[in-house]
């Protein structure tokens, strides 16, 4: 039984007047994969971004309720956002390697957090690329521009880049939806490896993917969490009528 890593209580988020998250209360377990599913526009990305405060960048966002990481409120005054984002890394839908070398991409985060030692950076780069299962493909071209990699490789590079700062939580927003099936499967395998040491929250459009890789699943609809729980139970015996309909493919 894994303990709870992230806990949201009565979380509401407004984009100006638009109420995008409505009283979201749910738990995310440590060292497990939690999948967020639901039709587009239901608030999955918005919820994900509240966990490392990426919403801070957007004008006119207002948040009420609580988000706790290891029991500590992350929206409390005095919380250091830089430290929070080091602990909670993020991978986006479109692979977004920076226009610099593979090495500098991986070293970017550690450098942000003050690492300057060349030897230690070398170690971090190798370790991160190995963990993201892309070391073999990149070790001979570390100084080459990262945008030259294939889409699937770029996404694994982005995961490696996120891992380089030793986060505890990894947020992934539809990380495979821009990739071909083979590259997607490689990412899924990678996530199953990573969940042994990281708490993973993944938004996915693909219910099969949720079944394959997640331990817990949460179903979002129009800004609310309709139902969340163990993935097996969620798909075999959903409690809510709306969940049943969604699983059966009766929503978009």
Ligand X SMILES: Nc1ncnc2c1ncn2[C@@H]1O[C@H](COP(=O)(O)OP(=O)(O)O)[C@@H](O)[C@H]1O
Range 54-93, binding ligand X (CB under 6 A):
58
46 binds ligand X (CB under 6 A): yes
Residue 58 interacts with which of Mg ion, ligand X, another protein, none, CB < 5 to 8 Å by class: ligand X
Spatial distance between the Cα atoms of 204 and 141, rounded to a whole number of angstroms = 31
Nearest approach, Cβ of residue 161 and another protein (Å): 7
Residue 236 interacts with which of ligand X, another protein, Mg ion, none, CB < 5 to 8 Å by class: none
112 binds ligand X (CB under 6 A): no
Which residue of 7, 9, 14, 15 would you call a contact of ligand X, by CB under 6 A? 15
Query: If you compute the radius of gyration of the chain from its CA atoms, what whole number of angstroms results?
Result: 18
Structure tokens at 241: 């009528």
Spatial distance between the Cα atoms of 69 and 61, rounded to a whole number of angstroms = 21
Find, among 89, 91, 20, the residue nearest to 60 by Cα.
Answer: 20
Spatial distance between the Cα atoms of 126 and 118, rounded to a whole number of angstroms = 12
Nearest approach, Cβ of residue 58 and another protein (Å): 11
Residue 158 interacts with which of another protein, ligand X, Mg ion, none, CB < 5 to 8 Å by class: another protein
Which residue of 45, 50, 105, 138 would you call a contact of Mg ion, by CB under 5 A? 45
Which residue of 16, 112, 117, 244 would you call a contact of another protein, by CB under 8 A? 112
Q: Mask: binding to another protein, 8-37, rule CB under 8 A, as x and -?
A: ------------------------------
Range 18-37, binding ligand X (CB under 6 A):
18, 20
Spatial distance between the Cα atoms of 90 and 53, rounded to a whole number of angstroms = 11
Structure tokens at 251: 């929503």
What backbone torsions phi and psi does residue 120 show, to the nearest 5 degrees?
-65, -40
Find, among 57, 51, 12, 9, the residue nearest to 34 by Cα.
Answer: 51
SS3 content of the chain, % helix, strand, coil (to 5): 40, 25, 35
92 binds another protein (CB under 8 A): yes
Nearest approach, Cβ of residue 174 and another protein (Å): 13
Number of amino acids touching ligand X (CB under 6 A): 12
96 binds another protein (CB under 8 A): yes
Instruction: Please report which residue ranges of the chain form alpha helices under DSSP H.
Output: 44-51, 81-87, 102-112, 118-131, 135-138, 151-163, 181-194, 207-213, 231-236, 241-247
Q: Which residues bind ligand X (CB under 6 A)?
A: 15, 18, 20, 38, 40-46, 58
Query: Would you tell me which residues interact with Mg ion (CB under 5 A)?
Result: 45
């Amino acid at each position: 039984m894994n303990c709870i890593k992230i806990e949201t209580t009565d979380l509401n988020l407004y984009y100006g007047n638009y109420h995008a998250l409505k009283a979201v209360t749910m738990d995310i377990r440590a060292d497990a994969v939690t999948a967020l599913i639901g039709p587009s526009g239901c608030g999955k990305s918005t919820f994900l971004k509240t966990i490392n405060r990426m919403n801070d960048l957007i004008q006119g966002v207002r948040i009420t309720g609580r988000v706790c990481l290891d029991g500590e409120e992350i929206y409390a005054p005095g919380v250091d956002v830089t430290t929070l984002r080091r602990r909670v890394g993020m991978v986006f839908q479109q692979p977004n390697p920076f226009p610099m070398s593979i090495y500098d991409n991986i070293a970017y985060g550690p450098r942000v957090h003050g690492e300057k030692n060349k030897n230690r950076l070398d170690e971090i780069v190798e370790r991160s690329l190995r963990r993201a299962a892309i070391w073999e493909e990149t070790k001979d071209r570390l100084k080459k521009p990262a945008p030259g990699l294939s889409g699937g490789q770029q996404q694994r590079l982005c995961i490696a880049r996120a891992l380089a700062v030793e986060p505890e939580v990894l947020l992934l927003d539809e990380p495979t939806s821009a990739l071909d099936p083979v590259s997607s499967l490689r990412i899924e395998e990678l996530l199953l490896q990573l969940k042994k040491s990281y708490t993973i929250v993944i938004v996915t459009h693909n219910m099969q993917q949720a079944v394959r890789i997640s331990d817990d699943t949460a179903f979002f609809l129009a800004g609310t969490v309709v139902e969340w729980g163990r993935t097996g139970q969620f798909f075999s015996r959903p409690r809510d009528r709306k969940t049943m309909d969604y699983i059966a493919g009766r929503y978009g």
